[in-house]
Amino acid sequence: MSEPLEHWVSTEPFDPGRTSARLSKPSTRYLEASQARLFWWRFKRHRLALVALVVLAIAYLTVIFAEFIAPYGVATRNTQHIFMPPQPIHLFHEGQFVGPFVYDMRGRLDLDTLQRHYTEDERRPRPLRFFCKGEPYRFWGLVEADLHLVCPPSLGTFFPLGTDRLGRDIASRLVHGARISLTVGLVGVAFSFALGLFFGGIAGYFGGATDYWIQRVTEILRSIPQLPLWLALSAALPVTLNPLLVYFGITIILALLDWPSLARAVRSKLFSLREEDFTAAAEMMGARPARIIARHLLPNFASHLIASASLSIPTMILAETALSFLGLGLRPPIVSWGVLLSEAQNIEAVALYPWLLMPMLPVMVTVLAFSFLGDGLRDAADPHG
Amino acid sequence: MIRYLAGRIATMLGTLAVISVLVFTIIQLPPGDYLSTTIAELRAEGETQAEEKVAFLRDLYGLDKPLPLQYLTWVSGFVQGDFGYSFEYGRPVAEVIGDRLFLTLILNFVTVLFIYLVSFPVGIYVAARRYGQVDYTLSFLGYLGLATPNFLLALILLYFANTLFGISVGGLMDPDYTGEAWTAGKMGSLAAHLVVPVVVIGISGTAAMIQRLRANLIDELQKPYIVTARAKGLGERRILFKYALRSALNPFISDIGDLLPQVVSGSVIVSAIMSLPTTGPMLLSSLRSQDMYLAGSFLMFLAVLTVVGMLVSDIALALIDPRIRIGRGTA
C-alpha cells in the first residue's frame, strides 16, 4: 500500500440550514436539461449519425432550391451533345491557374458503329460562372427567376456528369429528381405512420377481438413478398393519370405494405403502458380512448417512433427507385432517380454510356445516411436498449 | 407437436385464402381487361373469326359473370392445377410458365441456403472476436451491402462482366440445354449460372443476418450463466458452441419469416434485370399487358412459396425449441 490518502475537508463554511446537496455546475446543467436536450446530447455521441444528419440537411436543401442549384432546366435539350461523357472541370490552363473552367467538347459521329466520340478542345478555357444569370425558370413553378449557383460558360456547355440520349444534363436532372425521390420517403412514411399509429393504437389499447384481427391482418401483410405486390398495385394505376396523382398513388402503395411493422411496435408498447396508473387516472377522469392514446400513451415512446420512421424511409426510397426503374412506378415526364436509372436498363447502354449509372450514387448515399441517422436516433432514444 | 402442426397449417391455409382474394382483387383493379382490348384490336383489323374464340374464353372463365363467381372459378381451378388462360400467349398459363416455377424455386432456395451458410460461420466468428479487424471490416461492408439495392448491384456486375470479361451474365444455363432433359451437364451449367444471381440477391440478407446473429450471440455471451460456465473452467470453444450458440440460434431460424419475403422480392427484380428464365421477367410483362391470369398465377405462386417457407421454418423452430412446441412459447 502507498501513502494513506489525506483526509479531505471542504474549506467552505458549514451551513446548518442546508438540507440538500449543493450541485456542481455540470450536474445542475444535466439535471435541469429538458428531454429534448438530453436526447440531443446522447445523439451527438454517435459521430456517423451526426455526419449523416449534415448530409441529409444538404440533400434536403437541394430539394428546396433545386432550380437554383441545377445549371440547366429539367427538360432542356442540347442536340449538339447527345450521350456526351462527363465534361472534366479543370483549374490550370497551360500551367496557369485560371480557376474552375471547362474546355469545349467536340463530338464526332462514327458512321460505322453510330457511336459518338467526344474530345476536349484544349485551345480555349471557358471559365464557369457562379451566382449568375442563366436559364430562366419558375421557382417552385411560382416565381420567375434566372439566378443559378453555377452556370455554363457564356459560349460553352457544362455537363459535369454527361448527358443522356436527348442531350439533357444528367447533373441537373439528378438535382431535380431529388425533389421526387427524397420526398417520396417522407410522404410515404407519413401515410404509413398514420395507418400504423391508428391500427397499432386501437389493437394495443382495446386488445381482445380487435387486437386479434388486426394482428392477423398484419401477419398476412408481412408474409407477402412486398415487391411483386407493389408492382401489381402500381400496374393498376392508370397510365393516363396526372403525374401528381401518380406520385401520391405510389406513396400510398408504398405505405400500404409498410405500416404493419410499425403497428406491431405501437401495439406491444401500448400493451404495457395501458396498465399504468396514469392511464387508469385518465380513464377515471372521463378521457376518451382517442385522447388517452394520443395525449397520454404515444408521447411516451415518440422518440422510438421517430427512430423507426427514419429507418423505414430508406426502404421507401429504394422501393420507389426499383418500381420506377422497372417502368411501373413513376414515369417520365416526372423525374426521379429511379426514372433516370431506367435509362440504364439495358446492358448495351450501360456498357457504352456508363455515366447513365450516376443516379446510383445519390441513392446509396441517402440510404446510408438515413440508416446511420436512424441508428443514432434509436440509440439516443433508448440508451439502455 | 401434432396439435401445433395442425394449428399452424390451418393458419397457413387461412392466410393463403386471404392472399388469394387480395391477388384476385389486385389483378382486377386495372380498368378494362385483356379480352375487350383484343376484341377492339381485332375489329379494327376487320377480323371476325377470333371473336368466337374470345367468346369461348369469356364463357370458360366466366368473365361476364359477377366478380365473386369469377373468383371462385379461378380459385377452384388453381387448386386443381388449372391456372387459367394467358391471353397474351394464347395458351393455358400452366404451359406458358413451364420450367419457370421450378427454376424460381431453385433460385430462392439456393439463395436462402447461401445466406445461412455464409452468415452462420461469419456471424459466430465476428461475435467471438468482437471489435477485431475482421469485425470492423465486415460491419462496414455490411452497411454497404444493406445500402446497395440488389438491382443496382446486378447492374454493376453486368457492367463489369461486360467491360472486363466481355461476357454476358444472363440466363440460368447454356442455351443448348433449354428444353433438354435434366442431365448432369445441365445441372452443372445451372449451378455455374446460379452463382452470380444468388450472390446478388443474397448479399443484403446475408449482411442483415450476420448483424443479427452477432448481436444475439454477444447478448448471450454477457449473461450470468456464461460467467458461471467460465468460472467452472469450461473451454471458450465449449462455452461458445454448447452454451451461447444454442440460445442465440432461435431468432436466427425464426428470422426466416422476415428473410423470405425479402429474398423473393429481390429475386423478382434481379431476374428481370439479368433476364433469368424465372417468374420475374414474365411477371413484369404480364403486369404491363394486363394478362391477368398469368400475373395472378405468378403472384399466387410467390406468395405460396413464402408462406410455405415460413411454415417450414416454424416447424424447424418447434423441433429445436420445446417451449414453442408445447405452446407457451414467446419466440
Nearest to B26 among A236, A328, A357 (CB): A236
pLDDT for the residue numbered A48: 84
**Does residue A247 carry a pLDDT above 60?**
yes
In a domain, A41, yes or no: no
DSSP alpha helix (H) spans, chain B? 2-28, 34-44, 50-60, 67-79, 93-97, 100-128, 133-147, 150-160, 184-221, 224-231, 236-238, 245-254, 256-274, 279-288, 292-320, 322-326
DSSP letters of A226-245? HHHHHHHHHHTS-TTS-HHH
- Give residue-wise pLDDT tens across range B16-66: 888 888 888 887 776 666 666 666 666 666 666 666 766 776 776 666 677
Same domain, A201 and A254: yes
Closest CA to A355 of A83, A15, A36, A29: A83
Residue B85 has pLDDT above 80, yes or no: no
B99-320 fold: MetI-like fold (1.10.3720)
A-chain CB neighbours of B162 within 8 Å are: 347, 350-351
**Residue A268, domain CATH:** 1.10.3720.10
Query: How much is the pLDDT for A53?
Result: 92
Residue A352 covered by a domain: yes
Mutate to test the interface with A, among B101, B111, B150, B151 (most CBs of A within 10 A): B151
ipTM of the complex: 0.75
The DSSP string of B190-239 is: HHHHHHHHHHHHHHHHHHHHHHHHHHHHHHHHTSHHHHHHHHTT--HHHI
Average pLDDT over every residue of A311-327: 85
Give the pLDDT confidence score for residue B48 in this predicted structure: 62
Of B146, B155, B265, Cβ closest to residue A357: B155
Do you find a cis peptide bond into B149, omega within 30 degrees of 0? Answer: no
For B192-249, the pLDDT digits (tens) are 778 888 888 888 888 888 888 888 888 888 888 888 988 998 888 888 888 888 877 7
Q: Cell numbers for A139, please give them.
A: 421557382
Q: Are A103 and A125 in contact (CB under 8 A)?
A: yes
> How is chain B split into domains, by residue range?
2-87, 99-320
Q: Work out how many domains chain A is built from and give that number.
A: 2
Residue of A347, A358, A384 to mutate when probing chain B, most B C-beta within 10 A: A347
Asked if A226's CB is within 8 angstroms of B272's CB, the reply is: no
Q: Which of A111, A127, A158 is a domain's end point?
A: A158
**3-state SS of A287-352?**
CCHHHHHHHHHHHHHHHHHHHHHHHHHHHHHHHHHHHHHCCCCCCCCCCCHHHHHHHHCCHHHHHH
Give SS3 for A127.
Answer: strand
Domain range for A126: 87-158
- The confidence score (pLDDT) of residue B40 equals 67
Same domain assignment for residues A234 and A357: yes
Q: What is the predicted pLDDT for the residue at B329? A: 42
Q: Mean pLDDT throughout A59-86? A: 83
- Whether residue A306 sits in one domain with residue A203: yes
Nearest Cα of chain A lies from the Cα of B44 at a distance, in angstroms, of 22
H or E segment at A121?
A: strand A115-127
Considering the domain architecture, whether residues A297 and A344 belong to the same structural domain is answered as yes
Do A318 and B307 make contact, defined as CB atoms within 8 angstroms? no
Q: Indicate if the pLDDT at residue A54 is higher than 90.
A: yes
What pLDDT does B87 receive? Answer: 72
CB atoms A238 and B31 under 8 Å = yes
| pLDDT (average), residues A221-237 | 81
Q: Are residues A190 and A111 in the same domain?
A: no
Sequence-ordered list of residues with C-beta below 8 angstroms from that of A158, at least 6 positions apart, any chain = A71, A87, A102, A128, A150, A151, A152, A169
Please check whether residue A26 lies inside any domain of the structure: no
Mean pLDDT, rounded, for A142-151: 80
- Do the domain assignments include residue A93? yes
Q: Are residues A312 and A286 in the same domain?
A: yes
Q: Give residue B330's pLDDT.
A: 42
pLDDT of B172 > 70? The answer is no
Instruction: Inspect the interface and report whether the beta carbons of A236 and B268 lie closer than 8 Å.
Output: no
Same domain (yes/no): A189, A123: no
My answer on whether A151 and A221 are in the same domain is no
Q: What is the pLDDT of residue B168?
A: 57
pTM of the model: 0.80
Same-domain pairing of A140 and A276: no
Residue contact A228–B283, C-beta within 8 A? yes
Name which of A224, A327, A350 is nearest B306 (Cβ-Cβ).
Answer: A224
What does the mean pLDDT of chain A come to?
82
Q: Which of A35-44, A190-199, A309-318 has the highest mean pLDDT?
A: A190-199
Interface test with B, best of A48, A55, A223, A348 (most B CBs within 10 A): A223
pLDDT at A357 over 60: yes
Contact residues on chain B for A350, CB-CB shorter than 8 A? 155, 158-159, 162
Interface list for chain A against chain B, based on CB atoms closer than 8 Å: 216, 219-220, 222-229, 231-233, 235-236, 238, 314, 318, 321-322, 325-328, 341, 344-345, 347, 350-351, 354, 357, 360, 363-364, 367-368, 371-372
